[in-house]
Amino acid sequence: MAALDPKTMKDWQIAEAAEATMKPVKKLAGELGLTEQELLPYGHYVAKLDYMAILERLKNRPDGKYVEVTAITPTPLGEGKSTTTMGLVEGLGRLGKKVSGAIRQPSGGPTFNIKGSAAGGGLAQCIPLTDFSLGLTGDIDAITNAHNLAMVAVTSRLQHEFINSDKFLANRGLKRLDIDPRTPAMGWAMDFCAQALREIVIGLGGDMDGFMMRSGFQITVSSELMAILAVASDLADMRQRIARMVVAYSKKGDPVTAADLQVDGAMTALMVKAINPNLLQTIEGQPVLVHAGPFANIAVGQSSIIADRVGLKLSDYHVTESGFGADIGFEKFWNLKCRFSGLTPHASVIVCTVRALKMHGGGPKVVPGKPLDKAYTAADVGLVEKGLENLLAHIATVKLSGIEPVVCINHFATDSDEEIAVVREAAEKAGARVAVSKHWEKGGEGARELSEVVIEACNQKPKFRFLYEPSTTLTERIRLIATKVYGADGVSYTPAAQERVKKFEADPELSKLGTCMVKTHLSLSHDPSIKGRPKGWTLPIRDVLLYRGAGFVVPVAGDIKLMPGTSSDPAFRNIDVDTATGRVKGLF
């Protein structure tokens, strides 16, 4: 490990060098306590796990300590949440703890665009990097295919109902669903950032070329099927959730489900292998479960409940990551994932950087692909102090749940001792434990302080409580999230959104579904340009979607796209293959 220097090597170069000595997956599984039958290998270094067999064998074993990782509101560059998750897993391993991690599978959209693959960085990474970044064991492909099969069922049924009689349909065992092409419940899916496909027209040509209608694409990780994979408790539960998915509406406004189209069984068949978590490892050889990959700003933002249940049975400490800041990822972990799973977390790590605090304090705009302004590398305690309000807001959110907050100051080489000191003082005064971590530079040894503080936090008995009860109305849930978590003064609705809220609240089944907010991750507010801790604002809800299979009602705040766009300087420009060895280079 001494030969790996993140100051002179790129992340993919570090990963490639570390992969030369990584543990074969059978050895990794053996150290974790898995039997040979519970391991489903995909080559020498990656495997799926037979979660049902594992959970049945270990059903009487007590769970380990449950640790969640979130962050403050990030810059567009990210603040190292995945890196911190890997560093904490490595650090706990260095302290002799039996530990596992759980992270989401990266989407091809960010991997080939700006953000990169989210494997971590420096000496705190998940490997093998290429497998992790480029499709892994095919889970996202399975979701893409199952999603698009539902759209094939919808569009073909539209065409056949348009050109054929009721008798023709009845002879084939079909009833007329009278699908309304003007009010689609979903579009097509692909796992790239393809803004040109957000709005399209399909069915051009004659009667045999399909029904002409407006349609569009969303990125696969925003599919309801991805959310279902994240929250399903087992295969039977996943099958039932897929059947309940609303894939279209009739001309009377009634939902048309995957079961109505008799496509739910085939969709489940495409995803039957995807429900098993994937096993990889950190650079230092600790096990990492990679499973599900929903974004947090447009979806639930969590790795799977199944992965966490498996990790908690196999480990003394299990570290799971939630997407983006505590206002989005943690809030959904708290009020959705924990409610669905029944699991109670012991601590939450809030990743914080001096760089992000300076941005929230009024620093120059941070633009991906452009050099950072010198304000972010020169010492400026005053600028950091002005940005502390954002950190304090996230600490308050975690404390509201009753979970122990641990602020991890993700150390950058340009951070001054004075800047670190002012962050530590403010966080401790707000009631959080604090650790400075140098895991990017030093791996598990650099995360020793963070690991020790997390262990201390986990020794406290959690006083966990949800923000709202299942009986709380949708209107009140949205208000509570907006005011207590985001810091808004109140909520406003478009007429269409207000009408949908009334409809959902009047339905006994829909009124009990979870509330999964859609909001920008770049601000506590709905406006990504507003930094810090915004005051005197109202959260605008422009639409409310229904993910009945996943079990969510989805209020949409502000202008959010389900299909991101590719930038002018995408990461795919740097990715290539060494044709002599077949090794992929340039991933980050």
Tell me whether strands 552-557 and 538-547 are parallel, antiparallel or unpaired. Answer: antiparallel
Annotation says 81 is catalytic: yes
- What are the C-alpha distances in Å from 330 to residues 73, 335, 424, 458? 12, 8, 21, 17
Which residues have C-beta within 8 Å of that of residue 537, sequence separation ≥ 6?
Answer: 488, 489, 525, 530
Annotation says 115 is catalytic: yes
Annotation says 324 is catalytic: yes
Which residues are 99's β-sheet partners? 317
- What are the C-alpha distances in Å from 201 to residues 105, 204, 435? 31, 7, 53
Annotation says 273 is catalytic: no
**549: helix, coil or strand?**
coil
Residue in 104, 244, 355, 477 annotated catalytic: 104
Q: How many CB atoms lie within 10 A of CB 55?
A: 16
| Distance from C-alpha of 26 to C-alpha of 47, rounded to nearest angstrom | 9
Residue in 48, 65, 81, 157 annotated catalytic: 81
Token couple for 352: 């914080």
Type of residue numbered 361: G
Residue in 295, 340, 440, 504 annotated catalytic: 440
Q: Where are the alpha helices (DSSP H) in 172-298?
A: 224-231, 235-244, 264-271
| Distance from C-alpha of 25 to C-alpha of 47, rounded to nearest angstrom | 7
Residue in 162, 375, 386, 412 annotated catalytic: 412
Concatenate the DSSP letters of all residues of 366-401 into one string. P-TTSPPPGGGTS--HHHHHHHHHHHHHHHHHHHHT
Residue in 48, 65, 115, 157 annotated catalytic: 115
Annotation says 104 is catalytic: yes
Among 438, 531, 514, 414, CA closest to 472: 514
Annotation says 83 is catalytic: yes
Residue in 296, 299, 427, 497 annotated catalytic: 296
| Distance from C-alpha of 302 to C-alpha of 550, rounded to nearest angstrom | 13
Contact status, residue 492 vs residue 539, Cβ threshold 8 Å: yes
Residue in 12, 192, 324, 340 annotated catalytic: 324
Residue in 70, 73, 75, 83 annotated catalytic: 83
Q: Which residues are part of the catalytic machinery?
A: 81, 83, 104, 115, 296, 324, 412, 440
